[in-house]
A and B are shown apart, each in its own frame.
Chain A
Amino acid sequence: MTTIWHAIFGYFYLVLTVRVLKRRPGAQMTPFEFVLIFLIGGVIILCTMGDDRSETNSVCAVVTIALMHRLVSYLKTRFPKFGLIVDGTPVALVERGVWHKDLMRRLGLDETDVMAAARVKSVKTLDGIKYAILERNGAISIIKNDS
């Protein structure tokens, strides 16, 4: 029973931690974030299992977090506000050539990050960008200026 509580708490704690960690732009997770997840996750894993390392215990723990995961996914679709809390919302960084410098600053982004995403789309200069959107998963999507 304690394993189940530990697992539930551990899962939400991990999700919260991951969400709160300042999300760097770009879809990749940096090595530093990996280390952090492994460290925090590892601690929670060991504490969840405790002294009981039987298969029965681990199966129950994994099934518990699978249920939690499913629950959160369901809540996200049912309650869009919940989805906002867990995943965030897409943010427009550039709109029709207008750069939202204040938003970018608060998100910890600068022009070079946006340009890096733009180069992937073969856009060479800043004015080639019509819209730049920071997606929920951290990726930046670029809509080109067709001129």
Chain B
Amino acid sequence: MPADIETKQIEDSVAKNNNEVAVGSDLEFQRRWWRFEHILWLALTALVILDALGFFGRGWFAKAEAKTPDGSMRIEYERIERFGAPSLLTIHFGQNAVRNGGIQLWASDSLLHELGSQRLIPQADRSALDGHGILYTWVAAPQPDSVQFSMQPAKVGSAWLTLRVPGADQMRLKIAIFP
């Protein structure tokens, strides 16, 4: 005795065209969908154009430059970065950055944490961590006139990076990190 299988009487559940062929076509929905697609394609095109211009990082808009008023530092950086994507930050030192025969640079620890700095060229002779940042020292002559950090951002969001030659003006940069 087979188990009872649930059955259901067929009804006119698939919409008919001209009361003839059961197609189930919903043209009203389709028209709205076409409008949605049209808008979507415009948005997608805009997205690619914005990306090409660098609004999402790695392009013309993302490149930025900051100078301290006293000329001790000129920083080339990217104001928009991407998570995990390698990028560079270059600091050009002015004449007044050289003190006591050496150059020192203090950077907030966001350089290590959010921005994921991995390498510094040229390497500092000394680097010391204090509670909020790192102090790099270059002593040996000739002192570098520019140093470069290579970074791989590790945290999505916005990061504040403070850079300062001790005794001179400081620079506070806001860097956005996209996913």
Contact = CB atoms under 8 A, between A and B. Distances in A.
Direct touching of A and B (C-beta under 8 Å): yes
Contacts of B48: 4, 60, 63-64, 67
Interface in B25-58: 41, 44-45, 47-48, 51-52, 54, 56-58
26 contacts: A1-B51, A1-B52, A1-B54, A1-B59, A2-B58, A4-B51, A4-B52, A51-B85, A52-B58, A52-B84, A52-B85, A53-B84, A54-B84, A54-B85, A54-B179, A55-B178, A56-B51, A56-B56, A56-B57, A56-B179, A57-B85, A59-B47, A60-B51, A64-B48, A66-B44, A67-B44
Main SS class of interface, A: helix
B82 A56 contact: yes
Contacts of A60: 47-48, 51, 56
A100 interface: no
Interface in B120-171: none
B94 interface: no
A51 B86 CA distance: 7
A73 to B, nearest CB: 12
Interface in B61-109: 82-86
A70 interface: yes
Interface of A: 1-4, 51-57, 59-60, 63-64, 66-67, 70
A103 B177 CA distance: 59
Contacts of A2: 58
Contacts of B178: 54-56
Contacts of A66: 44
Contacts of B57: 54, 56
A52 B82 contact: yes
A1 B56 CA distance: 10
